[in-house]
Amino acid sequence: MTLILGIDPGSRKTGFGIINQVGGKTEYVTSGVIRVHKEPNMPARLDLIFSSLVGIITEYGPHCMAIEEIFMGRGPDSALKLGQARGVAMVAGTQSKLEIFEYAARKVKQAVVGNGNADKDQVAYMVQSILKLPGLPQEDAADALAVALCHNYVHTGLINIAGATRTRRGRIV
Amino acid sequence: MTLILGIDPGSRKTGFGIINQVGGKTEYVTSGVIRVHKEPNMPARLDLIFSSLVGIITEYGPHCMAIEEIFMGRGPDSALKLGQARGVAMVAGTQSKLEIFEYAARKVKQAVVGNGNADKDQVAYMVQSILKLPGLPQEDAADALAVALCHNYVHTGLINIAGATRTRRGRIV
């Protein structure tokens, strides 16, 4: 079995989702959203993202982390905030000795929906369908599960997406 | 005595500097630059920033961290990378139970040089002068020492800079 932790980072909400690839089947394990907007300041928000992710990794023991590369259509201030959350999420993984895999959002959509320009509703719908969930997952959790599914497809050789970078303890493998 | 860790974060080089305020005197303790550009990818770079800072905090036991708020004159891609490094640096502090203080670059220059528009050479020169260093510190280390000095001035009441945010374990104090 291979447990994959997908992450959709954000400075207010960070989505996470874990799937399990076992015996040719892909199973849903857990997902949710780390909400930090009530924390009084940015260091406290980032600390909560880090601690929550370390807690999730400790509880579920995923084998790797998949995270979206970020398309920066917004301004530098948003990029800085998003970068802070994303950096903290990645280090929660590296400090837990997880391999980190990065995928462009377009490639995640291509893998899960079959269309690199799919909208968020389509992604959530396909995530629900593939993982046989009883309802639509929350938006950030759906995006996190989607990047985990994308990694799973690449990892199991179902599709081959150019450009994913695989690292292990700081080395490309 | 109060040991202050100043940080100048960057995705390739992160400057750090520790000063000690003891009995009305400000002493230089240590400073340096964490260089991560040889790491093969961004997760490995961020991991090295985090681990190095946690190591420095463990070794020297600073009482708080001072870090520059970032003025974003550059594009969103630079902002994202800088944000990642900055987020990781702050969480190295919060996870070590340090209070984090943020200061705008302009205010650091105002505090150390007396001119919010001072250039980097002036900052390095004043840092050398104030801390009686035998030579000019490296640029990133000088900026880190400058933000530590700025915090020290605010903390000891020598100057009062509006806008510094003080936090302790996620609470404004």
What are the residues whose beta carbons fall under 8 Å from the beta carbon of B65, sequence distance 6 or more?
B4, B5, B6, B7, B90, B93, B98, B99, B100, B101
pLDDT of residue A44: 97
pLDDT of residue B18: 98
pLDDT tens-digit readout, A64-83 = 999 998 766 678 888 899 99
Count the Cβ atoms, other than its own, within 10 Å of residue A44.
21
CA distance A98 to A57: 9
CA distance A112 to A128: 11
Contacts of B35-39 spanning 24+ positions with Cβ under 8 A: B36/B11, B36/B12, B37/B12, B37/B13, B39/A170
pLDDT of residue A164: 52
pLDDT of residue A111: 94
pLDDT of residue A69: 86
pLDDT of residue B72: 65
pLDDT of residue A77: 84
CA distance B16 to B32: 6
Kindly give the pairing relationship between strand A13-22 and strand A2-8.
antiparallel
pLDDT tens-digit readout, A147-158 = 999 999 988 766
The kind and range of the H/E element at B37 are none
Probe site for chain B from A37, A38, A91, A96 (most B CB atoms < 10 A): A91
Answer yes or no: is B140 a known binding residue: yes
Cα distances from B42 to residues A79, B34, B84, in angstroms, run 16, 14, 9
Closest residue, chain B, to A169 (C-alpha): B44
Return the HEC string of B64-104: EEEEEECCCCCCHHHHHHHHHHHHHHHHHHHHCCCEEEEEE
- Residue B126 carries which side chain, given as an amino acid letter? M
What's the domain count of chain A? 1
CA distance B158 to B44: 40
Catalytic-role residue among A99, A102, A140, A143: A140
CA distance A11 to chain B (A): 10
What are the residues whose beta carbons fall under 8 Å from the beta carbon of B163, sequence distance 6 or more?
B103, B104, B107
Structure tokens, B96: 């070590």
**How many contacts (CB atoms, under 8 Å) link A and B?**
137
CA distance A150 to A107: 8
pLDDT tens-digit readout, A94-149 = 999 999 999 999 999 999 999 999 999 999 999 999 999 999 998 899 999 999 99
Question: Residue B61, by phi and psi: left (phi above 0), alpha (psi -120 to 50) or beta?
Answer: left
pLDDT of residue B167: 53
Beta bridge partners of B165: B102
Which residues of chain B, if any, have pLDDT below 70? 71-73, 157-173
pLDDT tens-digit readout, A45-62 = 999 999 999 999 999 999
> Average pLDDT of A16-39?
94
Beta-carbon separation of B76 and A79 below 8 A? yes
Residue numbers in A near B64 (CB within 8 A): none
pLDDT of residue A130: 95
pLDDT of residue B168: 52
Structure tokens, A131: 């993982």
pLDDT of residue B160: 45
CATH number of the domain that B150 lies in? 3.30.420.10
A27 is catalytic: no
CA distance A166 to B1: 46
Beta bridge partners of A17: A6, A31
CA distance B124 to B146: 8
Residue numbers in A near B100 (CB within 8 A): 43
Residue numbers in B near A86 (CB within 8 A): 80, 83-84, 87
Question: Domain residues for A10?
Answer: 2-172
Q: Is residue B100 within 8 angstroms of chain A, CB to CB?
A: yes
Helices (H), chain B: 42-60, 76-95, 105-113, 120-130, 139-155
Residue numbers in A near B76 (CB within 8 A): 72, 74-76, 78-79
